[in-house]
Amino acid sequence: MKIPNTALIEDLIERTRENLNQAEAFMEFSTEMLNWRQYEKKWSILECIAHLNLYGDFYLPEITKRIKSTSQVENPFFKSGWLGNYFANSMLPKEKLNKMKTFKSMNPLGSKLDKEVLKDFINQQKTMLHLLDKARTINLTKTKTSISISNFIKLRLGDTFKVVIYHNQRHIVQANNVLVHHKEMSKNLKMEL
């Protein structure tokens, strides 16, 4: 897939702003609500966001390091790699989210969480917006980043941005689904009373 750099970056900025706005909206809810789970093994809103923070803790410094150290000047087009494109597309939210296995180290299930999780995510999204702006001047195809699951695999920077931002979107959708289920259950309980 070949796309103008400016179009890719603008799309990713818009998606990141939406993720940021949603996290700010979650701040309006009580900590109790944010920790509510539909089922024992399903994540709460804060667990969804904590999961994203764990990935952000790896990818944001990695992206920063690669942007600072690259000598690759901007190319007007980004060409996605087959592996990066596959990973990115698998992260995109779908109407019915397909289940994906989470690495144990990235699974926050059962953690004691508070609104600091949301504050961290909001800060991470602001950092991502800054990095996307800096990425306008470098070659998104030739600049490569490491990935969290293997030291041997490198992705093109444009693909890494897509993977991380689409993954954020995916779990924001999941967090919103938790909210919908909570409202439905609360409504049904009121009707029973």
Does residue 122 register a pLDDT over 90?
Answer: yes
**How far, in Å, CA of 74 to CA of 34, rounded?**
42
Q: What's the distance, CA 127 to chain centroid?
A: 13
84 has pLDDT over 60: yes
pLDDT at residue 170, rounded to an integer: 94
Mean pLDDT along residues 73-79:
86
pLDDT band at 103 (very low <50, low <70, confident <90, very high): low
Contacts of 4 (CB under 8 A, 6+ apart): 76, 77, 78
Place of tokens 């961290």: 120
3-state secondary structure of 155: strand
pLDDT of residue 131: 98
Domain count, the chain: 1
Burial tier of 13 (Cβ tally within 10 Å: 0-12, 13-18, 19+): middle
**Residue 35 pLDDT:** 92
Mean pLDDT of 68-77: 84
List pLDDT tens digits, range 1-54. Answer: 789 999 999 999 999 999 999 999 999 999 999 999 888 888 899 999 999 999
Q: Phi and psi dihedrals of 78, rounded to 5?
A: -105, 130
**Exposed (0-12), middle (13-18) or buried (19+): which is 70, by Cβ within 10 Å?**
middle
Q: Pairing state of beta strands 144-147 and 150-156?
A: antiparallel
Interval 133-150: pLDDT, tens:
999 999 999 999 998 877
Average pLDDT, the chain: 88
Q: What integer pLDDT is reported at residue 193 of this predicted model?
A: 43
| Region 63-86 average pLDDT | 90
Give me the domain span that covers residue 172. Answer: 2-192
Q: State the CB neighbour count (10 A cutoff) for residue 2.
A: 8
Residue 97 has pLDDT above 70, yes or no: no
Here the CATH number for the domain that contains residue 177 is 1.20.120.450
Average pLDDT for 76-98: 86
**What mean pLDDT comes out for the span 76-84?**
93
